[in-house]
């Protein structure tokens, strides 16, 4: 069943209410068992295969962790390699095997050899990348002795299978969740209110903003070979906004739901639409993923410790693999490589102009940097959304050649982007006090003004919500 299908979304509030009432009545240990059952039922409802994969990943990683903790240095290395190969193997089989077979088939045809490779039709299992990365972070933390082996199987299974975050993140580390599972969880009134508001804002961003942008984006990308450059620009920029509203909306729902359970998930977005450079963008976008790649790949490769060109190489390797993580398509690999190239160019610029790194941007300079970064990232969004290199080539060709001429520019295209962008930023501004479950100490006019604007968003939700089923974009990663 699709996570955004009508039966699922209609059943979710009732099911969540029932789980919460039972959860609050149970002792801490029983709460963990309840959450495991709810997580497995949740996955079974959405994707029956995922339950088996979840149990296999949890069991395999749990046992491997115990052996790492009980072994000498050589044994620790062997068990780490075994655990990594197991988890990566699961990821390759259930996410990338179709891509590998299709690529092999294409290569055989290119060499004028009759292909006998069977083309696989299955797609990746629901959000398997997030679960595997949770498991790998645990193994890497054991190896580096940043954490100790977890000997409680109940706590560990919940760490791997915890349902609110696994569909689309955030990616959790050992330090993010395990300490909270090992102690009694307290839920205050402020946590309930802020959790419900976070979920409400997330639903608004997903069901209203992202889903309303979807048909505009689909129309442009499906006819990229004939659209004017103005329409193509609108489609790429609306997709950037749609992806952010969709992805951050799910994160808000996951964080709000967890807060109702007395569990705090890490922040995953920090105003990425206001990034002033590509490097700044990755400090604000999908923070738990970018820090995961930094700590477990970029730094082990040498980071920035071995000179400029080695650093550039490490950036390119990290971002290219990060692109592949996003999807089993070569367009994602090129997307990651392009981001790596932009980061390398930015690094070379800062090494040539050191003052650019420390200069604080204000006013028009800041606005220009934000707009410039948003425009600079346009080709990357095209690669992310395009279903093939052919579609991406048609799209970028139309943009670069200004298809239709300057007369094709339509103010309505820009107005639509500005309108949706303004609503996305307004929603993020309104939910700022709910990022932390603390008492609100703002002045009365701010509280009243925020309440009025929230009421206007609620009316907008009611008036514009359509019966359209669109899955969370990052759920397929």
Catalytic residues: 326
Task: For residue 1, give the DSSP letter.
Answer: -
CA–CA distance from 243 to each of 192, 258, 424 (Å)? 28, 22, 11
Distance CA 473, CA 128 (A): 14
CA dihedral of 358, 359, 360, 363, whole degrees rounded to 10 = -160
Residues 6+ apart with CB under 8 A from 69: 142, 148, 149
Q: Is 194 exposed, middle or buried (0-12, 13-18, 19+ CB in 10 A)?
A: buried
Long-range contacts at 334-342 (CB < 8 A, ≥ 24 apart): 334/383, 334/389, 335/380, 335/383, 335/384, 338/379, 338/380, 338/383, 339/278, 339/282, 339/380, 340/315, 340/316, 341/316, 342/278, 342/376, 342/377, 342/380
For 469, other C-beta atoms within 10 Å of its C-beta total: 13
d(CA 465, CA 260) in angstroms, rounded, equals 26
Contact 117, 99 (CB under 8 A): no
* Per-residue CA distances from 232 to 101, 203, 465 (Å): 33, 28, 26
Cα–Cα distances in Å, from 473 out to 67, 223, 240, 305, 340? 37, 21, 12, 36, 22
């Amino acid at each position: 069943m699709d996570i955004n299908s009508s039966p699922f979304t209609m059943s979710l509030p009732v099911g969540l209410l029932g789980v919460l009432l039972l959860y609050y009545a149970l002792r801490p240990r029983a709460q963990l068992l309840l959450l495991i059952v709810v997580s497995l039922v949740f996955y079974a409802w959405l994707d029956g295969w995922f339950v088996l994969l979840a149990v296999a990943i949890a069991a395999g990683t749990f046992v491997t962790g115990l052996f790492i903790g009980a072994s000498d240095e050589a044994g620790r290395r062997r068990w780490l390699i075994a655990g990594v190969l197991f988890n990566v193997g699961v990821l390759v089989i259930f996410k990338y095997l179709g891509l590998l077979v299709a690529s092999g088939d294409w290569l055989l045809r290119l060499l004028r050899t009759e292909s006998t490779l069977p083309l696989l039709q299955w797609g990746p299992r629901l959000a398997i990348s997030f679960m595997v990365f949770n498991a790998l972070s645990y193994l890497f933390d054991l190896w580096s002795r940043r954490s100790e082996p977890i000997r409680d199987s109940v706590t560990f299974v919940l760490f791997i299978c915890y349902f609110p975050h696994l569909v689309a993140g955030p990616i959790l580390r050992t330090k993010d969740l395990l300490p909270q599972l090992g102690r009694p969880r307290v839920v205050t009134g402020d946590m309930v209110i802020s959790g419900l508001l976070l979920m409400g804002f997330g639903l608004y961003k997903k069901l209203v903003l992202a889903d309303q942008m979807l048909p505009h984006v689909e129309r442009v990308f499906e006819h990229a070979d004939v659209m004017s450059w103005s329409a193509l620009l609108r489609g790429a920029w609306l997709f950037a906004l749609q992806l952010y509203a969709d992805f951050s909306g799910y994160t808000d729902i996951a964080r709000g739901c967890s807060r109702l359970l007395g569990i705090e998930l890490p922040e995953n977005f920090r105003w990425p639409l206001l990034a002033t450079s590509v490097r700044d963008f990755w400090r604000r976008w999908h923070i738990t993923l970018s820090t995961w790649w930094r700590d477990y790949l970029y730094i082990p490769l040498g980071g920035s410790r071995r000179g400029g060109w080695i650093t550039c190489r490490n950036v390119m390797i990290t971002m290219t693999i990060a692109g592949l993580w996003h999807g089993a398509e070569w367009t994602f690999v090129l997307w990651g490589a392009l981001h790596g190239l932009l980061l390398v160019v930015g690094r070379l610029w800062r090494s040539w102009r050191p003052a650019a790194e420390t200069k604080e941007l204000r006013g028009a300079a800041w606005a220009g940097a934000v707009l410039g970064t948003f425009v600079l990232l346009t080709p990357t969004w095209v690669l992310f959304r395009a279903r093939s290199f052919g579609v991406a080539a048609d799209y970028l060709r139309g943009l670069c050649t200004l298809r239709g001429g300057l007369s094709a520019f339509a103010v309505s295209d820009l107005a639509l982007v500005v309108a949706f962008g303004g609503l996305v930023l307004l929603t993020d501004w309104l939910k700022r006090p709910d990022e932390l479950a603390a008492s609100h100490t703002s002045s009365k006019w701010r509280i009243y003004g925020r309440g009025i604007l929230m009421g206007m968003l609620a009316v907008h939700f009611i008036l514009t919500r359509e019966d359209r089923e669109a899955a969370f974009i990052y759920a397929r990663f």
